[in-house]
Amino acid sequence: MAAESKEPGAAWHIATVASVHDETPRVKLFRLNLPESLLKRGFHAGQYFDVRLTAPDGYQAQRSYSITSSPDQPNLIELAIELIADGEVSSYFHEAVEVGDRIEIRGPIGGHFTWLPLSTKPVLHIAGGSGIAPIMSMLRHRTSSESRARALLIFSARTEADILFHDELDQMAKSDPNFNHIIALTRGAPQIWNGEDRRIDRPMIDAAISTLVGSEELPDRAYVCGGSDFVESMGNYLLDSGMSHSDVRTERFGP
């Protein structure tokens, strides 16, 4: 267990579970009401909280979860927790956590993987599975702040049933001419992406960049989030395409 530091956000606070929702067969959404002590702090889209569970015998387990809700709802945070087979903390959330439960949290944390609505630059988002979580906060904040910055999301999910926030993303794309999304399914039919059966690959990213900024330009910023292998390969595609390390922001969820 990491020692507590005196950094801002390092103290533990108690949040209360306001709602639990089955978003997909493997992901539940948990809305937590923040305590008074955290209300003034606010958060940036892309940040995360640490969550700590304590067993009756004192054993503790701590994990990080990105905020999916928008910063303009400062009194609550929504977390999208994927059930990991034999996962200590995700299993507890899926099997035991109920409305009204009190959960220890610490945060918000993170400064590199954040997006501010002041930015008007075109942004490419690439998400794998639950890696959509911090990007969803950015997209929701984009909508609520009426940002006109162009944005394109490439989202990889296993099957159609596993597409998190599917209706909301479709609605965003319908109502905002500056936002497009592409969903690539890795298992099962039908595959979405020109009707082809494929994972996200280099030609798909090149075509997305062309749609976003034209074939001669590069996006000003890319946010890539998901499992380690996914982030590694997507990050490498973007660096190979000419984007700089500082413009490719990554967050890794998995081992």
Ligand X SMILES: Cc1cc2nc3c(=O)[nH]c(=O)nc-3n(C[C@H](O)[C@H](O)[C@H](O)COP(=O)(O)OP(=O)(O)OC[C@H]3O[C@@H](n4cnc5c(N)ncnc54)[C@H](O)[C@@H]3O)c2cc1C
Chain contacts with ligand X (rule: CB under 6 A):
48, 63-66, 80-82, 84, 86-91, 130, 133, 227, 251, 253-255
Which C-beta is closer to ligand X: that of 24 or that of 90? Answer: 90
Quote the CA–CA distance of 78 and 133 in Å, as a whole number: 9
Which C-beta is closer to ligand X: that of 58 or that of 255? Answer: 255
Sign of CA dihedral 148, 79, 208, 187: negative
CB of 236 to ligand X, least distance (A): 20
Which C-beta is closer to ligand X: that of 68 or that of 191? Answer: 68
The alpha carbon of residue 42 and the mean position of all alpha carbons in its chain are separated, in whole angstroms, by 17
CB of 227 to ligand X, least distance (A): 5
Q: Which amino acid is at 80?
A: A
Q: How far is CA 196 from CA 125, 187, 191, 208, in A?
A: 21, 12, 6, 15
Which C-beta is closer to ligand X: that of 130 or that of 147? Answer: 130
CB of 200 to ligand X, least distance (A): 17
Which C-beta is closer to ligand X: that of 79 or that of 149? Answer: 79
CB of 253 to ligand X, least distance (A): 4
Task: Show the beta-strand stretches assigned E in the chain.
Answer: 13-24, 27-33, 48-54, 60-66, 76-82, 102-109, 123-128, 151-157, 179-185, 221-226, 248-252
Smallest Cα–Cα separation from 71: which of 52, 44, 47, 98?
Answer: 44
Quote the CA–CA distance of 71 and 253 in Å, as a whole number: 21
CB of 248 to ligand X, least distance (A): 17
Residue nearest to ligand X (CB): 87
